[in-house]
């Protein structure tokens, strides 16, 4: 029985690792604005479906790793991802009852909030970035939510993660 629990833990960490890899893929400058928030999507899914295992601590740790990979000031992504995990853990019972279409809109809203908080933190510490395409990753993440949900749901069922 303990083996299945540790297996579930490692499968969840592996999905975060794949999301970190997708987030760090080199892309042309224009396509960087079209990149969804992969770690945010995975964090939202696991926070909604296994809130006792994944929450703001996972968001903080994977946000720190994202800070290290992207080269941003240490803690910016960690704060935004932990905020995202906190919001999902607090409202998971309500969010799980929504249809996938409403969840997509909510994912757009949650990732949009994390993008705005990230830009706010960047402006406090003097990093100026382009604001023109600020919410485009949130839009793309909301559009991709249905497919990410189906993919991670099949992984959850395949490995019997509770």
pLDDT in tens, 108-151: 999 999 999 999 988 888 776 666 678 899 999 999 999 999 99
pLDDT band at 2 (very low <50, low <70, confident <90, very high): low
Q: How far apart are CA 127 and CA 138, in angstroms?
A: 21
pLDDT in tens, 54-68: 999 999 999 999 999
Query: Model pTM?
Result: 0.93
pLDDT in tens, 39-54: 999 999 999 999 999 9
Question: Please, is 35 exposed, middle or buried when counting C-beta atoms within 10 Å of its C-beta (0-12, 13-18, 19+)?
Answer: middle
Note the CATH architecture for domain 2-157.
Answer: Orthogonal Bundle (1.10)
Q: What is the 3-state secondary structure (H, E, C) of the chain?
A: CHHHHHHHHHHHHHHHHHHHHHHHCCCCHHHHCCCCCHHHHHHHHHHHHCCCCCCHHHHHHHHHHHHHHHCCCCCHHHHHHHHHHHHHHHCHHHHHCCCHHHHHHHHHHHHHHHHHHHHHHHHHCCCCCCCCCCCHHHHHHHHHHHHHHHHHHHHHHHCCCC
pLDDT in tens, 74-95: 999 999 999 999 999 999 999 9
In the predicted model, what is the mean pLDDT of the chain?
Answer: 92
Q: How far apart are CA 49 and CA 71, in angstroms?
A: 31
């Amino acid at each position: 029985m303990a083996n299945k629990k540790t297996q579930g833990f490692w499968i969840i960490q592996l999905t975060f690792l794949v999301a970190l890899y997708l987030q760090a893929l080199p892309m042309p400058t224009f396509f960087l604005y079209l990149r969804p928030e992969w770690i945010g999507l995975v964090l939202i899914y696991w926070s909604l479906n296994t809130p006792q295992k994944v929450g703001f601590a996972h968001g903080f740790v994977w946000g720190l790793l994202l800070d290290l990979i992207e080269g941003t000031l240490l803690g910016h992504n960690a704060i935004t991802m932990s905020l995202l995990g906190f919001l999902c853990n607090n409202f998971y019972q309500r969010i799980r009852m929504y249809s996938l279409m409403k969840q997509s809109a909510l994912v757009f809203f949650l990732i949009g909030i994390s993008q705005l908080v990230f830009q706010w933190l960047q402006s406090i510490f003097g990093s100026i970035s382009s604001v023109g395409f600020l919410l485009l990753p949130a839009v793309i993440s909301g559009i991709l939510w249905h497919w990410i949900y189906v993919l991670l749901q099949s992984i959850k069922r395949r490995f019997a993660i509770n």
